[in-house]
Structure 1
Amino acid sequence: MSSYMSFGTIFGNGKYLLGRKLGSGSHGDVYYGKDLHSEEEIAIKVESWDCEEMFLSHEFQVAKMLEGGTGFPTVRWFGQEKRHNVIAMQLLGSSLNSLLQQNGNKFSLKTVLLLADQLLERVEYLHNKRFIHRSIKPENRRDDLESLGYMLIYMLRGCLPWDNAMNDPVLLKQVKMGTSINTLCKGCPEEFSKYMAYVRSLNFEETPDYAVVREMFKDLFFNLGYEYDAKFDWIPQEKQSIFTPSRRQGLEVRKIYTR
């Protein structure tokens, strides 16, 4: 086997079938797959033993600890297959980044508020399990919520003030530090400014009041007359067969909240 598992590979004692590639990350590749026993469509992450650093084993342990939370996938299998570490897990929906790109790089206020409620719930669950994005240090909860704020503003505005400085780390830091909350949230309802002000007021070791910020966005949602009907901006498209090789197998997945 080459450094990449090939399309159609059967593994896991004959239980799983590897489909087409979904995307690539810094530590491996992600594929569609199928559980041949249940006919369930799944996601498969593959990491070659040739990688300088291997993280899939740790990711498996974290995923198992997070199982049961809404929006977190269930792990079906983890093991080794011909010099690869492999995870078979529940297949979730499209990434927010891909949905955002399909929607012209912006979402409506209704969709952003629906997402805000769900994302804050997910982050709270993650923090309660003592896993902080990029780090397990509890004092980084504030950073996570600030990054989430950037993400929400980006989805609503379609840009952030420092977009043009993304390729210059020094300039990027300067622009971020010099951007006021009013400038950051220009054109957004005042609740977004209040959210950012609250998050930045937190001490690093202080436990955020997730319920308060969720309620603030919910109040805005209902005051605008929106119906909590889970009708997001994106329209479901006809699903491509996961076992039809795709010409766009090199999909780049970008974390928009780090912009």
Structure 2
Amino acid sequence: MSDYDRDYTGAVVQSRWVLEGEIGAGGFGQVYIATDLTTNKIVAVKISPLKITPNSSSSSSSGGSNEGSLQHESAFYKYLGEQTGIATLHDIGTNDLWGIDFMVCDLLGASLWCLLGRCGHRFSLKTTLMLADQLISRVEMLHSKNVVHRDLKMENIVMGFGKEDGKTAYILDFGLSGYFRPQSDYLTAPGYYIAGTMETACIAWHMHRPQSPKDDLESLAYVLIYLFRGYLPWTFDRVSLFDSHLSERTLKMKLSLPIDIICKDMPSEFARHLKYARSLKYEDTPNYGKLRDMYRRLMQRMGYQYDGVYDWDLKDRKSHVTKQPPVDVIPASTQGKPLEQEKPVPKSDSLIPETPLVQDKPSEQTSPLPQNNPLKRKNPSDDKENHQQEDKPEETTQPTKKRKIIFIKAADKKQPAPKRRGRPPKQAVTKNAQEAVMITKKAAQNNEITDQRACPRKKPAARKKACK
């Protein structure tokens, strides 16, 4: 196992392919990104150690070639040729210096498993339906060539490169693929004990039975359900080796759970796809057009279009927009100033207007009038008032009612207020005057009483004058 995990970065295969770094690994080999020294083209090189030999019991079901070997896989690439959604094979051979088998193909884009991680581990209904339309066509093409893939999963479905090819889905990894034959031709069922994915595998895979086109459609149904929901009822942490206990547990859930529960909270088309695949017999030819039209009608009912815009494209667009610098961040009022004085502000509908607010006004002068303008006297009474207020120097410095209030800092509040000089307050003068008036009135009354006592004869004389 240590040789299988060996890092071949920097190795030169056949004096032509320079391995730059590992980009993936499967059940039977590792995938490296490489450079072609002759054309300077970037390609993908899949390598496998020579000492790892596949299970010999499965050779009978693949027409003489060992399943899992690169020679077996390359035979399907050669047979399928230039079909849409199939990578182009460039070279195949053995390198004795490094002790590896190698296979060189076109370098393609990210797998659906990687794209799921970028999109929150689930796709929208529109993206799932656009992928379903392509994948049904890919499976139909394989079956028309009498090929059964037998290992459909998210890791083996990738997207292409470029503006146009980047919208095309590719099917990879034909290490477990085989040619379809009638069930009577199989003496023993092929066994896959060290490879495969239990989550999206068909029921026949768990039971070690030969597979047919209907089994690829069943695995494709699990893939589409996983893409839309982000999980399956039997989802578990992935392990590198085959686990018989997990396989039995997964098989029981696939057989016991109703399909409506497996496809809960999903459009009914996904459940109908799975029911149709399980209802077929081993040698039945599936109706691919029926499945494709079913998903297209759902696409039309939802108002979607086949525009080739997937969830990861929208994700890339949003990240590209956030990386762009903001536009029109400099206010119009500061365009004439040097750049050092300009401060960018965010663009929004609630920008601060160009006219300054009340808080931005300069503080008013301590004197009510400018120093250069002399005071114009209108009335003589003004001079009198000014003369009375000369003894109050502080009142002349106080702001008028119309001026803005000047706030004092917290440190200034702790200081004691200065003592007032000049005349006492108006209220105190008024109170003293009232007391003086009361004293005067009382003194006058006492004088009248004293006079009446001293001169009692004046009263009859006053009465006589009143009678006359």
Q: TM-score interval w.r.t. the shorter chain?
A: 0.7 to 0.9
Q: Deviations over 1:72-127 (max 9, x none)?
A: 11011111112211111111111111111221210000000011011111111111
* 2:336 alignment partner in structure 1: none
Q: How far apart are the structure 2 equivalents of 1:11 and 1:165?
A: 35
TM-score by length of 1: 0.84
Counterpart mapping for 1:14-29 below 5 A: 14-29=15-30
* 2:90 alignment partner in structure 1: 76
Q: Where does structure 1 lack aligned partners over 5 or more consecutive residues? A: 238-259
* 2:217 alignment partner in structure 1: 145
Q: Deviations over 1:185-237 (max 9, x none)?
A: 11111111221222222121110111110111011112211111111111376
Counterpart mapping for 1:38-49 below 5 A: 38-49=39-50
Q: Which has the higher strand share?
A: 1
Q: How far apart are the structure 1 equivalents of 2:218 and 2:141?
A: 16
Q: How far apart are the structure 2 equivalents of 1:45 and 1:84?
A: 10
* 1:174 alignment partner in structure 2: 252
Counterpart mapping for 1:164-203 below 5 A: 168-203=246-281
Q: Answer whether contact 1:153 1:160 (CA < 8 A) is retained.
A: yes
Q: How far apart are the structure 2 equivalents of 1:199 and 1:209?
A: 10
Equivalent position to 1:162, from 226, 230, 234: 234
* 1:30 alignment partner in structure 2: 31
* 1:86 alignment partner in structure 2: 102
State the 1:5 CA deviation.
6.2
State the 1:130 CA deviation.
1.4
Gap change, CA 1:112 and 1:178, over 3 Å in 2: same
Q: Name the larger-Rg structure.
A: 2
* 2:128 alignment partner in structure 1: 112
Q: How far apart are the structure 1 equivalents of 2:236 and 2:102?
A: 38
Q: Does 1:123 align with 2:127?
A: no
* 1:229 alignment partner in structure 2: 307
- SS of match in other structure, 1:119: helix
Equivalent position to 1:56, from 66, 70, 73: 70
Which amino acid in the other structure matches residue 37 of structure 2? L
Q: Does 1:213 align with 2:291?
A: yes
- SS of match in other structure, 2:179: coil
Gap change, CA 1:87 and 1:205, over 3 Å in 2: same
* 1:240 alignment partner in structure 2: none
Q: How far apart are the structure 1 equivalents of 2:138 and 2:21?
A: 29
Q: Answer whether contact 1:5 1:46 (CA < 8 A) is retained.
A: no
Which amino acid in the other structure matches residue 234 of structure 1? W
Gap change, CA 1:178 and 1:20, over 3 Å in 2: same
Deviation larger for 84-93 or 131-140? 131-140
* 1:95 alignment partner in structure 2: 111
TM-score by length of 2: 0.48
Equivalent residue pairs, number: 236
* 1:247 alignment partner in structure 2: none
Q: How far apart are the structure 2 equivalents of 1:180 and 1:207?
A: 25
State the 1:165 CA deviation.
9.7
Q: Answer whether contact 1:19 1:31 (CA < 8 A) is retained.
A: yes
* 1:241 alignment partner in structure 2: none
Q: Answer whether contact 1:27 1:55 (CA < 8 A) is retained.
A: yes
- SS of match in other structure, 2:127: helix
State the 1:175 CA deviation.
1.2
Q: Where does structure 2 lack aligned partners over 5 or more consecutive residues? A: 55-67, 151-177, 182-210, 239-244, 317-468
Between 1 and 2, higher relative CO (CA 8 Å, sep ≥ 6) is seen in 1
Q: How far apart are the structure 2 equivalents of 1:171 and 1:101?
A: 26
Q: How far apart are the structure 2 equivalents of 1:226 and 1:159?
A: 24
RMSD (Å), alpha carbons: 2.2
